[in-house]
């Protein structure tokens, strides 16, 4: 895999670690509420749900990080799987929560996916 594709995959992994931190640990803080446009009351009421969401983002990050270093063909297959998962999750989030998610999550995942496919 090319350096560019590896960096792209790791960047998507880092994004999901950041989302994990926001959802699991900063959800009710001013920074967490601002990131998701939440009121203090709503953030408090949904803290457990957000932490669960954050954990899933951590699994995406772990899978992407592992795939970036795993030998092919498993590494390639795993990169494809996790990047498609991120893209689909972004589309669903854009449809159900905020359209901006498509630009934060889906577009970068598709760019990384294209780089992985080109490098293969």
Each residue of 83-118: pLDDT tens digit? Answer: 999 999 999 999 999 999 999 999 999 999 999 999
CA 26, 31, 34, 35 torsion: positive or negative?
negative
The confidence band for 1, taking pLDDT boundaries of 50, 70 and 90, is confident
What single string gives the DSSP state of each residue in 31-84? HHHHHHT--HHHHHHTHHHHHHHHHHHHHHHHHHHHHHHSPTTHHHHHHHHHHH
Instruction: State pTM to two decimals.
Output: 0.92
Tokens of 57: 């983002």
The confidence band for 45, taking pLDDT boundaries of 50, 70 and 90, is very high
pLDDT reported for residue 4: 96
pLDDT average, residue stretch 74-91: 97
- Residues of the domain holding 31: 3-119
> Is 116:1 a contact under the CB 8 Å cutoff?
yes
Q: For the chain, how many structural domains are there in total?
A: 1
């Amino acid at each position: 895999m090319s350096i560019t594709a590896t960096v792209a995959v790791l960047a998507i992994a880092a994004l999901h670690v950041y989302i994990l931190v926001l959802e699991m640990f900063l959800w009710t803080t001013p920074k967490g509420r601002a990131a998701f446009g939440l009121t203090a009351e709503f953030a408090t009421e949904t803290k457990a749900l957000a932490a669960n969401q954050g954990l899933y983002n951590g699994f995406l990050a772990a899978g992407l990080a592992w795939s970036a270093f795993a030998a092919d063909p498993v590494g390639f297959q795993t990169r494809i799987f996790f990047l498609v998962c991120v893209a689909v999750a972004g589309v669903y989030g854009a449809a159900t929560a905020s359209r901006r998610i498509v630009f934060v999550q889906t577009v970068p995942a598709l760019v990384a996916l294209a780089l992985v496919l080109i490098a293969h």
